[in-house]
Amino acid sequence: MLTYIIRRIIYTLPIWIGVYGITFALFHMRDPIAIARVHMPQAPDAALKAWVRNNNLHLPRFVNLPADADTVLVDGKKHPELASKSIFYSQFFLGFREIITFDFGVDKNRQPISESIAERAPYSLSVMLPAFLITVTLSVVMSLFLAYFRETGLDVGAVLITVAMMSIPVPVYLLLCNWGFGKYLKLVPVYNHVLLPILVSVLAGLGGQVRFYRTVFLEQIEQDYIRTARAKGVSESGILFKHVLPNSLIPILTSVVMSLPFLITGSLILEHFFGIPGMGDMMYTAIYSQDFQVIKVMVYLGAFLYMIGALLTDISYILADPRVVLE
Amino acid sequence: MITILIDIAWILAAAAGIVALRSFLRNPSLKDARDMLASRLRVRIAFYVVCAYLGVGLIGQIKVPEKERIADRSLLDLSLQWIQKERTYSAPFASEVTGIRMLEADRELNRVKGIHILGTDINGVDVMHNVLRGASTALILSFGTALVAMPLGVLLGILAGWSGGKLDDLIQWLMSTVASIPWLLFVIAFLMVFGRGLFWICLAIGLTSWVGTARLIRGETLKQKSLDYITAARATGLSVPRILFRHLLPNVRYLIIIDLTLFCSSVILAESILTFIGIGVEQGTASWGAMLIESEKELMRSPAIWWVFAGSAFCGILPLVLSLNVLGDALRDALDPRAVSSR
């Protein structure tokens, strides 16, 4: 088991390098002055250079060669601070050190980003975890129900409703719930800040999830072993709970375990709208203050959590299904 | 001059689209699939809704040169010229404007000049007109993004599936790498570096969303590769690009069509989310996401101005995205023999 996990982690190394390459190309290969101009179209050159400096984009890209004047900010000459640094004092290697050591540097206000993340993640989790649990439970129950009533009018109608629910973007749910519960029904504000984000998040996820689980269950129902079970005289509810549900565990686990790590990153829109000081809100603030370091860290973190999710999914397969063998 | 060229390009694109659609509808080998699609009422409705939005989007794109130098006047604006501008908000079908308390005595000034089926916004502009203008933004976004993602996905998918070996490993590594960066984070980062605007949004979403298509096409290519017709084509000594693009591609075409339909619906949803966060389309672009932001304020007024919200959400986004989803599912049922029915 342990060797499997270690080997599995080693396999993700090339992907990790790829992610670093993509983010590096994104943030560091464009002329920093041009990036600065995107955010401050009318600013004078001095302000642009100050911005570049604050974001550490004036350092050499790959290597800090003593004789090289390949830095962006300096008007033809080298910064004195760079001469005293090592050859690895460059954007590439400094960024690399950050992601290896999980020391993500500081944001615009000189706050250590790792600390902010540790501080804010619980807030995101406190909203996302209940929302996620409710969504998964509700949708598994509802799709089992639909699988029981498959190919009836109820099923057809419900599928159409789930597709309609998937066709509505999160902001629409958000505005609708906020207006309906906050303004029209006049529920107390405190209530809103805890329950409304959960409600919106459940609503936004329910359509897709119900549809997904329904397809999973129907895929199992069409299998031969179900026909055998039925021929033996197993009741319809026995088929659903004793045969279909356990055998659908793998797709359910995939979808659940895969999304677990993302519960701590929260939701950008919801957290900003309801004033929850979580990770989504941190991201939102970073977008508005053009805090590149924070956004870069979030991209790394997102990819990191995705890989954790994939690893956990694989491990959960082994635990859930005895047919899965370690290779 | 340039506007005329762009107009011509749009008209040519539309003509190409109509020709492609006709060849699809006339293709004898697809008769069963077509009958299956046409026999379902909701698929037909979805098809007409999508066509209507495409048409509106297209005439919203064709710019009309104007003597009075009104910039960006489209054929759509020209054809809706007869709609009167009001003083300020008016509810759908209302006879008086809302929101001006001070002028209540002056009934003549408060009277609404025309009929507005979705009312008017704060500046007295017809909301339905804005919703229709949003269709052309949705059109550009879906097509622009598809233009980036589809060729990338199809090409890399076919290459990976066909070549196997080292190239396959390389492309698979690229796919896993791109897939492991959450799309919203990548798009935000991309737009922060390159700036807002439709072009960059298309590029950003396109560069993250080709992986699904590529995986789909790769799997299908792997399967088709061992079929007899490919062996026959190889035996006759055809070049590899010819086999890939003249023989293999037409046989995975249905996958691309299904994928494209569902792809467009997700791009329209993504636009509204991005614009709502504040990094989507530039200010002044008529888009449904921008209308949603506007409606956030309007809903909080007293009495609530609900029609801007209702217009963008339930006359703009929902019908089009729902129709695309219904159409995509129906196409999958009809064209893809392996798919579990999603009826």
Are the C-beta atoms of B206 and B266 separated by less than 8 Å? no
**Which candidate from B177, B188, B304 shows the least CB-CB separation from A19?**
B177
Residue of B nearest to A223 (CA): B340
pLDDT digits (tens, 9 = 90+) for A277-305: 889 999 999 988 888 889 988 998 899 99
Which whole number is the average pLDDT over A92-106? 81
Q: Is B207 on the interface with A (CB under 8 A)?
A: no
d(CA A217, CA A247): 9
Positions in chain B whose pLDDT score sits under 50: 340-343
Are the C-beta atoms of B333 and A171 separated by less than 8 Å? no
For residue A269, give how far its alpha carbon lies from the nearest alpha carbon of chain B (Å): 6
Alpha helix ranges (H) inside A149-289:
153-166, 170-177, 189-221, 224-232, 236-238, 245-247, 249-259, 268-274, 279-288
Pairwise CB contact (< 8 Å): A303 & B188: no
Tell me, what's the pLDDT at A72? 45
Mark which residues 146-205 of B lie under 8 Å from A by CB.
173-174, 176-182, 184-186, 188-190, 192-195
Pairwise CB contact (< 8 Å): B189 & A23: yes
Find all residues with CB under 8 Å of B166, minimum gap 6, and list them.
none
What domains can be seen in chain B, in order of their start residue?
2-80+126-342 (1.10.3720.10)
Pairwise CB contact (< 8 Å): A299 & B186: yes
Tell me, what's the pLDDT at B36? 81
The partner residues of A34 in beta bridges, in order of sequence, read: none
Q: Is B278 on the interface with A (CB under 8 A)?
A: yes
Tell me, what's the pLDDT at B1? 67
Tell me, what's the pLDDT at B195? 84
Pairwise CB contact (< 8 Å): A179 & B174: no
What architecture (CATH level 2) is domain A119-290?
Orthogonal Bundle (1.10)
DSSP state letters, B243-288: IIIIIIHHHHHHHHHHHHHHHHHHHHHHHHHHHHHT-SSPTT---H
For residue B174, give how far its alpha carbon lies from the nearest alpha carbon of chain A (Å): 7
Tell me, what's the pLDDT at B341? 47
Best residue in A12, A15, A149 for a mutation probing chain B (most B CBs within 10 Å)? A15
Q: Which residue has the higher pLDDT, B103 or A8?
A: A8
For residue A220, give how far its alpha carbon lies from the nearest alpha carbon of chain B (Å): 10
Q: Whats the size of chain B, residue-wise?
A: 343
Tell me, what's the pLDDT at B117? 83
Tell me, what's the pLDDT at A81? 66
**Which candidate from A22, A26, A283 shows the least CB-CB separation from B193?**
A26
pLDDT digits (tens, 9 = 90+) for B173-196: 999 999 999 899 999 999 988 888
Tell me, what's the pLDDT at A69? 46
pLDDT digits (tens, 9 = 90+) for A114-133: 889 999 999 899 889 999 99
Tell me, what's the pLDDT at A314? 86
Question: Which 8-state DSSP code applies to residue A38?
Answer: H
Which residues from chain B sit within 8 angstroms of residue A271, using beta carbons? none
Tell me, what's the pLDDT at B343? 41
pLDDT digits (tens, 9 = 90+) for A66-98: 655 444 455 555 566 666 677 777 788 888 888
Place of tokens 């492609």: B20
User: And the tokens for B35?
Assistant: 């009958």
* Domain limits, chain A: 31-100, 119-290
Given phi > 0 = left and psi -120 to 50 = alpha, else beta, which region is A187?
Answer: beta
d(CA A264, CA B53): 39
Tell me, what's the pLDDT at B5? 82
Best residue in A16, A52, A163, A305 for a mutation probing chain B (most B CBs within 10 Å)? A163
Share of chain A above pLDDT 90, in %: 22
- Alpha-carbon torsion angle A83, A85, A91, A94, nearest 10: 180
Tell me, what's the pLDDT at B325? 94
d(CA B200, CA B187): 9
**Which candidate from A215, A262, A299 shows the least CB-CB separation from B342?**
A215
Which residues from chain A sit within 8 angstroms of residue B182, using beta carbons? 262, 302-303, 306
Tell me, what's the pLDDT at B77? 79
d(CA B323, CA B267): 14
pLDDT band (50, 70, 90) for residue A275: confident
Which residues from chain B sit within 8 angstroms of residue A295, using beta carbons? 185, 188-189, 192
Pairwise CB contact (< 8 Å): B322 & A167: yes
Tell me, what's the pLDDT at B212? 92
Q: Reply yes or no on whether the pLDDT at A215 is more than 80.
A: yes
Tell me, what's the pLDDT at A326? 63
